Structure 1
Amino acid sequence: MDHEQIESQPWPQEGLERVERCPICGEVDRALLHDGLTDKIFFCAPGRWSLYQCPTCGAAYLDPRPTPATIAMAYSDYYTHEEGDDAPKGRFAHLKRRLRNDYLNARYNADLQPAWKVGRWITPLLGRKRKQIDESVRHLPATGKPGVLVDIGCGNGQFLGVAMQLGWEAWGVDLDPKAVKTAQKTGATVIQGGFPDTGLPSAHFDIVTLSHVIEHVHDPLAALREAFRVLKPGGHLWLATPNMGSFGHVRFGADWRGLEPPRHLVLFNNNSLEIALDGAGFIDIKQKPCLAQAAWFYQSSLRISRCQDPYDASASGLPLTLWIAAKLVDFRVAVSPFRCESIVVTAKRPESD
C-alpha cells in the first residue's frame, strides 16, 4: 500500500479512545493546535489525527488516539529492532573516535579502544564537543563505583552496550520482541515488557533512562511513577523527549519531526514535563544542554513538508539558509536550552520517601 492509500485509510473506529482532559494536569479546556495530521515518517499508520494543547500546563495530546490494544498497528514499520552504530561519522571520524574514547576512559576508568591519550585533555577544552559526548552517554555520573541501570524502551540496545563498556551493570526493557532479541546481543539483561508495566524489581536501580519513550505511552504519569518505583532511594532518572516549545516546532508547525502522529501520544514543553515529574515524586529536576540537534530536526522536518522519507540517506541536505538557521539555533540553545528540539532532564528519587 502506497503513502496516499495509507493516509486515506481511517484508523478502525473501535480502536480509538477519547482523551477528554489533559493527561498531565487534568485541565478540560484546550486549544486545537494541529488538525489532519498523518504518518509522514514511517507511512505505516492509517488515519488523520488532531493534536490539542493544554492552556494550563502546555502539554499537547492526540484526541482521539489509538487504544493500547491497537497502537501496535502504528509500529509495523518501526526501526527499534535494527542494530545501531554510535561511532563518529564524517570527516576525521577516526580521530574523533580516538579522542572521544580517551576522554571517556579517563572519566569512567574504562578501556575503550582505539584511544589517543591526549583526548582526556583536549576534549574538555572543546566545550560543545564535551557536552555532546556527555549527552551521548546520558550524563552518567563519573564519581564512585558504577552501579545498576535500566534503559526502559531500550530498542536495539545500543546504549546498553555503551553503558556496559563504561562499567555499568545494564538492564533493558522493550515491548518489541525483535528489539529485545537484538539488544540481548550486547550481553545486557534485557526483558520484554511494557511501560508502565515493566515487571522490574522495586528500588533496584541506581539510574533509569528514558530516551524518547515518554511521548509514546498512554499514561505518562503512571510511567513516571513506575520509573520512581524501580529506582533506589537517591537514584536518578535521565529523560529525553521532543520539545513542543522548540524553535523547530515554531518554524515547521504540523511538519515538525517531533510530532510523529499517531505514535507520539503526549508531547511536552519544559513546564508540563516538570509538572509531571514533580507529580510522580521526583525532586532536583535539572535541564541539561541538548546540543547539535537542530540540523537533523530541520532536515527531517523539511523532508516531511515535501512528503519525502525523512530517513532517506540519498536525499539532498538542507538549503544553505536553513542550515545556517539550524546552526544559529544550536548556538542559542547551548546558552538557553529551553528552546532545544528535545528536552533532556535529570531528576532524583528522594533518599527517603
Structure 2
Amino acid sequence: MNTTATTMTATTSGAVSCRVCDSTETHWLCDTHNTHSKTVTLDHYRCRSCGSVFVGNQVDHEELAVAYGTLDSDTYYAEIGEENTRKMLDSIADLKALGLQKAKLIDIGTGDGMFVPLLRDAGFDDISVHEIEGCDLSKVKPLVKAVYQDHDYSTLPDASFDVVTLLDVAEHVMKPQVLIDTALRVLKPGGVLYLHTPVVTRTDRFMHVLQRTPGLGKIGRMWQSGRTSIFHLQNYTADSLELVARRAGFPDVKVIVKNELSWPVSRYIQVYLLKRLRLPKPFAVFFLPIFYPLLGSNFFNANKGIVTARKAG
C-alpha cells in the first residue's frame, strides 16, 4: 500500500481505530485508488465492534476541500434532484408526524439548500442552516432566519433549536461523534435530532467476500470505492448509529433502515460498473436482473439509516 497521508498494516487488527466508535478491533477490507486529493490510495476497514465500514486514512479539512473542489456540484445535484426531492419530502412527512411543523429547526450540512424551500412550502417557517465556510448559501439566505458557517460548529448557539436535521451529512464528517455531540448541544431540552446516513447492507457484506475472492476481487473493490471514499468516510450500522447517539447523551433513540437510492439502478450500473469496465451504457439492461435485487431491495440493500433521537427534557 502507498498513501501520502498515513501508513497502515493491512493484516494487523487494531492498526486503525474505527472512525465511529474508536474501537481498535478493526479489519482491513481492501484498498482503492483515489484521484480527488493527495492521498492516492484509500484503505477501507470494517469495525469488528460496531460493524461500521470506513476509510482509515487520516485526512484534514484542507484535503477534503481539494477533493470536493474536483466535483461538478451543479451536475451532481441535477442528476439526483428527483430522488433527492422524494427523500426530503419523506423526511418532512416524518417531521410532521412528530408534530414538529412549528418547531425552530436548523438544517446542518444543508449543501445546496434544496431542503429549505421544501420545508417552507410544507409550513415550516423558523429555519436556520449551517454549512462549511466558503459554501455559497446566497439562494437560501432570504428564506431562513440565520445562516451559520464554520468548520467546527463553533458559531452554533447552545440550546437554541427544537429540531436538528442532518440529511446525508454524517457520512462525510471526519469526527462523527463530534457532529452528534453538537446536535445535542444546540438542541433545547426535549428537542429532536432527525438524521439520514448510509448504512452497511447485506450487499456490502457480500462484496466484502468478493474482495477476497480470486478473479472477482476487482468487482468487490469497485463496489467499495462507491460506498466509502474521500467523500463518504464512513458507513454506519443501526447499532453504531444508536451508539453514537447514546454516547452523546440522547436517552431516547430510534433507528430504522430502508432502501433509499439517489439514482435509478441502471444509472449505478453505468457509473460504477460499465464505465470502469469500458462497456457501453446500453449494456446496463443485461446487468439489471442481477443487480436490481442487490441494489433496489430492502432485503439486500437497506442502505439508509434514519435516526430519531430526543434530548432529555
Q: TM-score, normalised by structure 2?
A: 0.76
Matched AA of 1:48: T
> What residue in structure 1 maps to residue 222 of structure 2?
255
> What residue in structure 1 maps to residue 192 of structure 2?
236
1:228 is paired with a residue of what secondary structure?
Answer: helix
CA distance in 1, matches of 2:242, 2:197: 12
Matched AA of 2:37: A
Equivalent residue for 1:183, pick from 130, 133, 140: 140
Matched AA of 1:52: Y
CA distance in 1, matches of 2:271, 2:18: 31
Equivalent pair of 2:45/2:56 in contact (CA under 8 Å): yes
Matched AA of 2:49: T
Question: 1:222 offset after TM fit, Å?
Answer: 1.2
CA distance in 1, matches of 2:202, 2:295: 10
Q: Deviations over 1:18-62 (max 9, x none)?
A: 883223333222211121x134xxx53351110111111112222
Question: 1:176 offset after TM fit, Å?
Answer: 5.0
Question: 1:326 offset after TM fit, Å?
Answer: 2.5
> What residue in structure 1 maps to residue 215 of structure 2?
none
> What residue in structure 2 maps to residue 284 of structure 1?
252
RMSD: 3.6
Q: Deviations over 1:227-280 (max 9, x none)?
A: 111111111111111112253563563333752411222321222222111111
Q: Deviations over 1:150-171 (max 9, x none)?
A: 1111011110111122222111
Equivalent pair of 2:88/2:115 in contact (CA under 8 Å): no
> Does 2:303 correspond to 1:348?
no
> What residue in structure 1 maps to residue 48 of structure 2?
55
For residues 24 and 145 of structure 1, do their structure 2 counterparts lie closer, same or farther at Cα, with a shift above 3 Å needed?
closer
> What residue in structure 2 maps to residue 122 of structure 1?
none
Q: TM-score, normalised by structure 1?
A: 0.68
CA distance in 2, matches of 1:243, 1:262: 17
Matched AA of 2:131: D
Question: 1:290 offset after TM fit, Å?
Answer: 3.4
For residues 60 and 288 of structure 1, do their structure 2 counterparts lie closer, same or farther at Cα, with a shift above 3 Å needed?
closer
Question: 1:210 offset after TM fit, Å?
Answer: 0.9
Matched AA of 2:33: T
Matched AA of 2:25: D
1:218 is paired with a residue of what secondary structure?
Answer: coil
For residues 157 and 320 of structure 1, do their structure 2 counterparts lie closer, same or farther at Cα, with a shift above 3 Å needed?
same
Aligned length, in residue pairs: 287
Name whichever of 319-328 and 200-209 sits farther off: 319-328
Matched AA of 1:33: L
Equivalent residue for 1:72, pick from 55, 59, 65: 65
> What residue in structure 2 maps to residue 269 of structure 1?
237
2:138 is paired with a residue of what secondary structure?
Answer: helix
CA distance in 1, matches of 2:257, 2:234: 22
Equivalent pair of 1:155/1:174 in contact (CA under 8 Å): yes
CA distance in 1, matches of 2:82, 2:57: 41
Structure 1, unaligned runs of 5 or more: 1-9, 90-96, 98-128, 309-313
Equivalent pair of 1:231/1:349 in contact (CA under 8 Å): yes
Q: Which runs of at least 4 in structure 1 moved beyond 6 Å after TM superposition?
A: none
For residues 253 and 328 of structure 1, do their structure 2 counterparts lie closer, same or farther at Cα, with a shift above 3 Å needed?
closer
Quick one: percent identity of the two aligned structures? 24
Matched AA of 1:210: L
Question: 1:185 offset after TM fit, Å?
Answer: 5.3
Equivalent residue for 1:319, pick from 264, 285, 304: 285
CA distance in 2, matches of 1:283, 1:23: 22
Question: 1:296 offset after TM fit, Å?
Answer: 3.5
